[in-house]
Amino acid sequence: MNTGQDQYILKVEGLAVSYGSFEAVKDVSFNVLQGEIFGLLGPNGAGKTSTLSSIEGLVKFKSGSIKLNDYDVQQQPLQAKASMGVQLQSTSFQAELNVAQILQLYSGIYGVPMDADQIKTTLREIGLDEAGKKKYSQLSGGQQQRLSLIIATIHNPKLVLLDEPTTGLDPQSRRQLWERIEAIKARGHAVLLTTHSMEEAEAVCDRIAIVDHGCVIAIDTPQALVDKHRDDPEVIAVSRRGKVTLEDVFIGLTGKAVRA
Ligand SMILES: Nc1ncnc2c1ncn2[C@@H]1O[C@H](COP(=O)(O)OP(=O)(O)OP(=O)(O)O)[C@@H](O)[C@H]1O
C-alpha cells in the first residue's frame, strides 16, 4: 500500500488496448482510492469492459500501467489478483454443483474454507438459505447476482470489480445490491463498477469517469460534473423539463448518436 496522502488502491495510467489493428482503449487514466466506489460510464463500445479486463489480467494491454495495491498487474499478476474480487458481466459456475457446493468450492479455492455452518449462515445472509440445494442455473437473476457477489468478495479483497452488476435486476434486488456494494466500502475497501444507469452512478458512486471512444473525457463526483457542465450549450440542448441531470451531461459530452 502506498503511504502518500491519497491512498489509492488502483492506479491506471495511459492505458491502451488493441484488438488486432482496432484501438478499443486509447488513453485511460484514473485512480481509485481506499474506501471509494468509483464508476466507469460510457456509451456502448466505449472501452469500459476492456479497461476492467486489463485490470483483471484477462486482456493483455498494449501500453500504459496498472497498479493494484501497489502491485503491477503485469509484473506481479499473482499478488495483484489476490488483491481483487471480480464479478464478470455473465458469471457462471459449475453446472453440476448446487449453491452450497459452489460456495464450499470457491471458499476453498480462495483459501478461506467454510464449514457447513458457515455456509448455512452465509446463504441465510444473502437470502439463499432455501435455495442451497438448487443449481446456479435454477436461480433467478437477482439470486445469481447475490451469489456471484459473495463469491467475488469471499477473500476480503482490497478492490472489487463489478461489470454492470445490476443490469436486469428489479428495483428491490438493485437496492439490495447497492447496499451490499456500500457495505464493501464501509469495510474500507474499494469498488470499481461499470454501469449504464445514471441513477446508479448518482446513488452509489463517489466519483465517476466518463469514457468515450477509448478515452476518459471527464472525472469527478456526479454532482460536480452536473455543476460544471450545466451551462454547456450541448447539455442544455438535451436537457428536458428545464432540469439538468447527470444523463444530460453524459449525452452532452458523448453526443446523441447511438453507437454501433
Ligand atoms: N475480443 C475482442 N475482439 C475485437 N474487438 C473487441 C473485443 N472485445 C471488445 N472489442 C471491441 O472493443 C470496443 C470496446 O469494447 P468494450 O466491451 O470494452 O466496450 P464497453 O464500453 O464495455 O461496451 P458496452 O457498454 O457495450 O459493454 C468495442 O468496439 C468492441 O466491439
* 90 pLDDT above the threshold of 80: no
- The DSSP output letter for 118 is H
This complex has an ipTM of 0.98
For residue 46, the CA-to-ligand 1 centroid distance in Å is: 7
Q: Is 87 helix (H, G, I), strand (E, B) or coil?
A: strand
* 93 pLDDT above the threshold of 80: yes
Identify which of 80, 21, 90, 30 has the alpha carbon closest to the alpha carbon of residue 56: 80
Q: Is 214 in the pocket of ligand 1 (CB under 6 A)?
A: no
Looking at residue 156, its pLDDT comes to: 87
Looking at residue 218, its pLDDT comes to: 97
Q: What is the amino acid identity at position 165?
A: P
For residue 90, the CA-to-ligand 1 centroid distance in Å is: 15
* 3 pLDDT above the threshold of 60: no
Distances (CA, A) of 178 to 34, 78, 110, 173, 182: 18, 29, 24, 9, 6
Q: Which atom of ligand 1 is nearest to the CA of 214?
A: 14
Q: Is 222 helix (H, G, I), strand (E, B) or coil?
A: helix
Domain boundaries, the chain: 1-83+158-221, 93-156
d(CA 132, CA 15): 41
CATH topology of domain 1-83+158-221: Rossmann fold (3.40.50)
d(CA 47, CA 245): 23
Looking at residue 259, its pLDDT comes to: 79
Q: Please tell me whether the overall predicted TM-score, pTM, comes out greater than 0.90 for this model.
A: yes
For residue 206, the CA-to-ligand 1 centroid distance in Å is: 25
Looking at residue 89, its pLDDT comes to: 67
- In which band, very low, low, confident or very high, does the pLDDT at 94 lie, cut at 50, 70 and 90? confident
**Closest C-alpha to ligand 1, atom 5:** 19
Element (H, E) at 86: strand 84-87
Identify which of 253, 258, 211, 212 has the alpha carbon closest to the alpha carbon of residue 236: 253
Q: For 135-192, what is each residue's pLDDT tens digit? A: 988 988 888 888 988 898 888 899 999 999 888 888 988 998 899 899 999 988 899 9
Q: Is 28 in the pocket of ligand 1 (CB under 6 A)?
A: no
Q: What is the amino acid identity at position 153?
A: T
d(CA 23, CA 64): 13
- To which residue does cell 483459501 refer? 111
Distances (CA, A) of 166 to 36, 118, 143, 146, 239: 18, 26, 12, 10, 25
Looking at residue 146, its pLDDT comes to: 87
Kindly state the average pLDDT of the residues 88-113.
85
Residue 101: count other Cβ atoms within 10 Å of its Cβ. 16
Q: Is 114 helix (H, G, I), strand (E, B) or coil?
A: coil
Of 25, 40, 50, 195, the residue with max ligand 1 atoms within 8 A of its CB, to mutate for a pocket test, comes to 50
- In which band, very low, low, confident or very high, does the pLDDT at 124 lie, cut at 50, 70 and 90? very high
Of 48, 90, 162, 212, the residue with max ligand 1 atoms within 8 A of its CB, to mutate for a pocket test, comes to 48
Q: What is the mean pLDDT of the chain?
A: 91
- Residue 230 has φ and ψ, to the nearest 5°, of -65, -20
